[in-house]
Amino acid sequence: MPVILEFEKSIYELEEKINQLREFSRTNKVDMAQSVVELEARIEETKKRVFSSLTPFQRVQLARHPDRPFPRDYINRLFTDFIELHGDRRFSDDHAIIGGFAKFDGKPVMVIGSQKGRNLKENVKCHFGCANPEGYRKALRLMKMADKAGVPVVSLIDTPGAYPGIGGEERHVAEAIAVNLLEMFNLRVPVVCIVTGEGGSGGALGIGVGNRVMIMENAYYSVITPEGCAAILWRDPAATPQAAASLRLTSSDLLKLKVVDGIIPEPLGGAHRDIEAAAKQLGEILRQQIDELSKLSPEKLREQRYDRFRAIGVFSEEKPAGAKAAKSAKAKKK
């Protein structure tokens, strides 16, 4: 049984109707082709209407949809010869972040991905996709391995955030994330990061420093969950949709803010309604990015990555004389 979100209901109802119609047509040997065609058109139109007017919080719900393709689903479809590598060499193997060598278009890459579970058992193992320090340390180990091998890094991000636990604090998750941020700037190979679902704050950024940072159409990337923001600033869980809108966390908002470099379109109805089509779109964009970046020298790659993040931020630089010179640092055009 698929999980159906409130705003998906009208679509599913029409789909149910069309199934009944087909069934009726078959069992009673009546030609209902015309009605089916009409209904199909209505479904398409409803999908368009619903998905062209999604609120930011509805997009957050889509990004969290339990049926949404996870990084492993994309890895299985887009990469061949995936050889998973395990462990941080210090404490454990964190199942919330997976990674290993793989081939993309027959060429080697290092692919890293957040890992969410499809059921409770899996989710217990991977903490619902929330990594501990070991996850970030494993990811860095693999990224440095990619650097040594001279192969591009592909990072697929879908996490609610780093796991908030006593053990994580004791083993210094803040350091694990911070060191990743610093070290990812030192990598001499192309790094492409793609937010495929949830981009949960520092937990996402910990594997998110790339030459390119892309986001899927219905994914979100936010400094705090809308729920957390509503609790702190509004002191009211009912303000969650308002918080989601205020945080500018949708793909189109983030493109405007130059936090992301591009949006990967999803099939109408969301990636979970057509995983093959979603994977194909992701694959095309990834190919394009890797091809472009592969032309750059190792030094140029580091420089470009620095400049990309260096430019993010919006502020004003007041002149003491009172002359107000607005300055908005924005990502440079590539």
Nearer to other proteins, 287 or 327 (CB): 327
Rounded to the nearest whole angstrom, what is the least distance from the CB of residue 294 to other proteins in the complex? Answer: 22
DSSP annotation of 295: T
Nearer to other proteins, 202 or 269 (CB): 202
CA distance 98 to 201: 19
DSSP annotation of 223: S
Rounded to the nearest whole angstrom, what is the least distance from the CB of residue 89 to other proteins in the complex? Answer: 17
CA distance 38 to 334: 45
Rounded to the nearest whole angstrom, what is the least distance from the CB of residue 173 to other proteins in the complex? Answer: 5
Closest to 58 (Cα-Cα) out of 203, 238, 219, 213: 219
Nearer to other proteins, 85 or 239 (CB): 239
Rounded to the nearest whole angstrom, what is the least distance from the CB of residue 123 to other proteins in the complex? Answer: 13
Rounded to the nearest whole angstrom, what is the least distance from the CB of residue 264 to other proteins in the complex? Answer: 18
Nearer to other proteins, 29 or 319 (CB): 319
Closest to 301 (Cα-Cα) out of 317, 290, 316: 290
DSSP annotation of 228: H
Q: Tokens 């923001």 sit at which residue?
A: 229
Nearer to other proteins, 49 or 90 (CB): 90
CA distance 50 to 7: 7
CA distance 154 to 283: 11
Per CB under 8 A, residues contacting other proteins are 162-166, 168-175, 177-179, 181-183, 185-186, 201-202, 205-206, 208-209, 221-224, 228-229, 232-233, 242, 246-249, 254, 257, 259, 305-306, 309-310, 312-320, 326, 328-329
What is the DSSP annotation of 151-188? --EEEEEEES-S---HHHHHTTHHHHHHHHHHHHTT--
Nearer to other proteins, 257 or 296 (CB): 257
Residue 158 dihedral angles phi and psi, to the nearest 5°: -155, 80
Nearer to other proteins, 14 or 131 (CB): 131
Rounded to the nearest whole angstrom, what is the least distance from the CB of residue 331 to other proteins in the complex? Answer: 10
Rounded to the nearest whole angstrom, what is the least distance from the CB of residue 50 to other proteins in the complex? Answer: 25
- What the block records as the tokens of 318 is 């007041």
Q: Name residue 318's beta-bridge partners.
A: 324
